Amino acid sequence: MREVHHYVSGATSRGRTTRFADVYNPNTGEVSGRVNLAGRDDVIAAIEDAARAFPAWADTPPPRRAHVMFRFRELIRANLDELAHMLASEHGKVIADAKGELQRGLDLVEFACGIPHLLKGEYSENVAAALDVYSMRQPLGVVAGITPFNFPAMVPMWMFVIAIACGNTFVLKPSEKDPSVPQRLAELMLEAGLPKGVFNVVNGDKEAVDAILTHPLVQAVSFVGSTDIARYVYSVGSAHGKRVQAMGGAKNHMIIMPDADLDQVADALIGAGYGSAGERCMAISVAVPVGAETADALRERLTPRVQALRVGLSTSSDADFGPMISRAHLEKVKGYVERGIQEGAELVVDGRKLQIPSYEDGFFMGGCLFDRVTAKMRIYQEEIFGPVLSIVRVDNFDAALKLPSEHAYGNGVSIFTRDGDTAREFTRRVNVGMVGVNVPIPVPVAFHSFGGWKNSAFGDTNQHGAEGVRFFTKVKTVTARWPTGIRKGADFFMPTLK
């Protein structure tokens, strides 16, 4: 049986603890491996190793750091099939989806290849008599990332790629549910020329998280996961003097105006709501048609599409999505569906009884579709994180705008319309961090930033893009005057422009 250990100082490390957690194949429901769970001493060893590697890496010229990223990019491309199958076997997403995730991670690598430009400071000459001012961006030191199960490749690359390119050393604590891909990425970084100790991986649970959040050598922590844990990471990390960005849960809406192309909308909702079994923080889980006629027509188009969803093995080329991550999560999602029925929502399509022949123990669930969901229901208020889409009917634009704006989460929202004035008004007024116009999943490209509002994010800086560079660096400003032969005596006041 495969065992996944830590990766410290360029080599596999068994650590000092004997605690392990099972890793499952979601297709079969069987244990496919074990992952070593780090104790506090294991985490400290990884942090201290990263601290020893920091001075030399920070002094490495940015173009040389970029060269590592260029090589890392080519290694990912060369090993894409291996990485995709490894990812699918532990997470359950289909191969095409796994490759899409890796490509989005590659986008970040390509962005980081431009780090010499991204780290450029500012220079102002002669701001006062013979006085120049300039600024520079410098790395923080040892920084850390704590990442979720649903994107075991992309989300870590949101973090470690930018952080390392900026000159930091990095300790990653990935999800213990699908740990193999993060470790493989660390191996490829070493192969790309990254010095030992610059990128360490420790697997673990809350004990490992707490060790990261409280260790004085860790200067910053980046997190993606559920809102409750994001709030905890932010509060504990901040209390220990760390810079923290913590992305939480979501309840993403799609507003459908009466003038929208409903066939386009239905197709968009199928992909955005049910792709990756709904286990995406940017999944659309609430459809908000404006007007009864729009709602009826949308339901008519959605129902057969949901019923026709192809659920299958993660290795199947014909499957739209595969199994869920674990049996516990599968039962949790089914419990939400039952709660929705009890709350009075109309279950139009019920996918709970789906089974795959010969894979009855797999963590499979078909698509579910609710209609006549209201804002008071828990299936509307809480993140389900499964293949469940809810239709919430409203009468007008203002009511549609109010739903995402007043929801506790504020990650993503989308509007489908042919009217530019409506789209502009919506994007300007909606109280949500990422907005799509006729785009179902408004995940920004790598050179922009990712981040929600309200209970979807804690901290002042977003993930990746220029915001990521700012998060993983600190600004130093230098005010300089060189001897000019001019002497006028002592000054007892601040320098001014006069």
Hey, which residues are catalytic here? 281
Tokens of 371: 């209609």
Distance of alpha carbon 44 from alpha carbon 215, whole angstroms? 8
Short-list 172, 176, 164, CA closest to 222: 172
- Could you tell me the strand order of the sheet in which 11-13 lies? 11-13, 6-8, 199-201, 169-173, 142-146, 218-224, 243-247, 457-458
Q: Calculate the CA dihedral of residues 238, 246, 53, 101 and round it to 10 degrees.
A: 180
CA separation (Å) from 445 to 104, 112, 269, 463? 8, 13, 20, 11
Q: What is the DSSP letter of 464?
A: S
Distance of alpha carbon 70 from alpha carbon 271, whole angstroms? 32
Q: Give the DSSP letter string of 111-141.
A: HHTTHHHHT---EEEEEETTEEEEEEEEE-S
Rg for the chain (alpha carbons), in Å?
Answer: 25
The H or E element spanning position 411 is: none
SS3 283: coil
Tokens of 440: 């179902």
Q: E strands along 163-316, which residues?
A: 169-173, 199-201, 218-224, 243-247, 252-256, 284-289
Short-list 325, 386, 299, CA closest to 351: 386
